[in-house]
Amino acid sequence: MTQLLSLVVPFYNEAAAIQSFADAILPALEAVPDARWEIVCVDDGSKDGTLLKLVALAQADSRFRVLEFSRNFGKEAALTAGIDAAKGEAVIPIDADLQDPPELIAEMVKAWREGAEVVLARRIDRSSDGVLKRKTAAWFYQLHNKLSKIKIPENVGDFRLMDRAVVDALKQLPERQRFMKGLFAWVGFRTVTLDYTRAPRAAGETKFSGLALWNFAMEGFTSFSTAPLKVWTYLGAASAMLTFIYALYIVIRTVVFGNAVPGYASLFVAITFFGSVQLISIGLLGEYIGRIYMETKQRPAYIVRKSYGGDGASG
């Protein structure tokens, strides 16, 4: 008996990569025995010819379905929309740049059929990424997993297979500010891991700038841990203790040696140090308060302007 499986693919200004993606993904899907496929493509407000090419694919092949966003909502929203729309017994998110190998899909499905509910794809070789990106990614995983009770598997991206039970659990999570790697880890379920080597992009350029990656990391830290708030509590206590010791030193020095320059240096240091600490701590509080503010509005994570394509049931 054939099973309906879903591939979820976010697109943002990926017109140059679409044909290469289709040429690579279709043979990989057809190599999976006893499976029917739907390919849920989410156009995240692209400004190039991405939507037109996706619609053309959907018209030519009923396995393709296209969701068009009303504007750019971001990759996390696009992943959410694709997962919400997927009908398959298992769902596989994958990027359109082909850095994640479509050939691994057959192994993922095999592991799922043998009992795994989540099949992770782990990058064991990221030499195709720049040195700075590799280093910052390693630092992020290490720091996040030290701060948070929810551990994110290192060097595992969005490329994975999830059973329908996992997808249904994800759809119960109501937050609007979504950090999908954390949500994937939070729901749990029986998990196995497959290793692969990350390839260069097939076409186009990455859409994540340095600032975007920094904001993404902040989203991860504040979504699954309150440890940064606790850190500032401890820092405040340590600063108070150091201030007391320094004040004691100033008193003793003044009594013993006198005070040739009355107060300027110590006052300057104290004001600048504690002013900086207060600004940083206020900024950190603002990150959490901002998340609360966005969640209380209860706006949807995305808006689908229009959908295109067939029923996704042909194999």
Report the CATH number that the domain containing residue 26 is assigned in CATH: 3.90.550.10
| Same structural domain, 202 and 137 | yes
Q: Per the domain annotation, does 218 fall within a domain?
A: no
What is the domain count for the chain?
2
Its pTM stands at 0.68
| Same structural domain, 122 and 195 | yes
Residue in the block written with tokens 């499905």: 109
Q: Per the domain annotation, does 216 fall within a domain?
A: no
| Same structural domain, 117 and 247 | no
User: What's the half-sphere exposure (Cβ side, CA atoms, 13 Å) at 222?
Assistant: 19
User: What is the pLDDT, as a whole number, of residue 242?
Assistant: 74
User: What is the pLDDT, as a whole number, of residue 165?
Assistant: 92
User: What is the pLDDT, as a whole number, of residue 180?
Assistant: 82
| Same structural domain, 200 and 249 | no
Parent domain of 238: 227-297
CA 78 vs. chain centroid, Å, equals 11
Q: Per the domain annotation, does 167 fall within a domain?
A: yes
| Same structural domain, 193 and 268 | no
Which DSSP string do the residues of 221-283 spell out, in sequence order? HHHH--HHHHHHHHHHHHHHHHHHHHHHHHHHHHHHH--SS-SHHHHHHHHHHHHHHHHHHHH
User: What is the pLDDT, as a whole number, of residue 123?
Assistant: 83
Q: Per the domain annotation, does 16 fall within a domain?
A: yes
Q: Per the domain annotation, does 315 fall within a domain?
A: no
| Same structural domain, 25 and 84 | yes
User: What is the pLDDT, as a whole number, of residue 255?
Assistant: 72
Among candidate residues 268, 287, 275, 165, the one with its CA nearest the CA of residue 214: 287
Q: Per the domain annotation, does 96 fall within a domain?
A: yes
User: What is the pLDDT, as a whole number, of residue 207?
Assistant: 52
| Same structural domain, 121 and 253 | no
C-alpha separations of 39 from 67, 96, 186, 236 in Å: 11, 12, 26, 52
| Same structural domain, 69 and 176 | yes
Calpha distance 138→236 (Å, rounded) = 29
pLDDT profile of the chain (315 residues), mean per 10: 89 88 90 90 90 90 91 88 91 88 90 91 71 65 68 80 92 82 84 81 54 59 62 68 73 68 63 70 73 76 86 42
| Same structural domain, 164 and 232 | no
| Same structural domain, 36 and 174 | yes
| Same structural domain, 204 and 192 | yes
| Same structural domain, 65 and 8 | yes
Q: Per the domain annotation, does 304 fall within a domain?
A: yes
Q: Per the domain annotation, does 221 fall within a domain?
A: no
